[in-house]
Amino acid sequence: MLLRGLMLKGSGPAVVATAGGAHGGSLTLEDCYVSGSRCGLVLRERAVGTLRRSVLCKCGEDGIQASGGGAALIESCSIFDNARHGVVVSGRGSSVRISRSMLSNNGGAGVAVDQEGGGRVEDNDLRNNALGPCVVGEASKTRVAVGSNLT
């Protein structure tokens, strides 16, 4: 599914949620503004989300959550002013790839990865997050590559 040029505001558990199921599923957000709800975007059960030139902000918890094998590709996005983390990746098979994006002023970390989640975080602005730019749990340390970020 492709969502382009939309303003999406919510008040429930997530503004946009997708579960892939047995065959996976995909969602692309381009040039969108997502705010409100507990989370801006939730990807689970092998769902794959691609975000380009979008804003995810002012969520009650996290801007983006990828779990249960969910994956996110985030390029040239702004993820800020979320009550908890900008992006959370948790669980084996879950991953994130973030580049050329700004993740700042979040109540937790810019990016948080744990429980055997993985990813690559490069060429981003990760300044001014309450718990630091990137927090990686012990079970994910060998699965995450972090480099060339402003911190």
Q: What is the pLDDT of residues 71-115, one digit of tens each?
A: 999 999 999 999 999 999 999 999 999 999 999 999 999 999 999
pLDDT in tens, 122-136: 999 999 999 999 999
Check whether 18 has a pLDDT greater than 80.
yes
Secondary structure (3-state) at 23: helix
Q: What's the pTM value of the predicted model, to 2 decimals?
A: 0.95
Residue 22 pLDDT: 62
Torsion angle defined by CA atoms of residues 109, 115, 117 and 121, in that order, rounded to the nearest 10 degrees: 30
Task: Find tokens 């009650």 and name the residue.
Answer: 60
Residue 23 has pLDDT above 70, yes or no: no
Q: Which of 25, 15, 16 is nearest to 45 (CA)?
A: 25
CA dihedral 82, 68, 92, 71 (to 10 degrees): -60
Kindly report, residue by residue over 47-79, the tens digit of the pLDDT.
999 999 999 999 999 999 999 999 999 999 999
d(CA 22, CA 77): 29
pLDDT of residue 19: 76
Mean pLDDT over the full length of the chain:
94
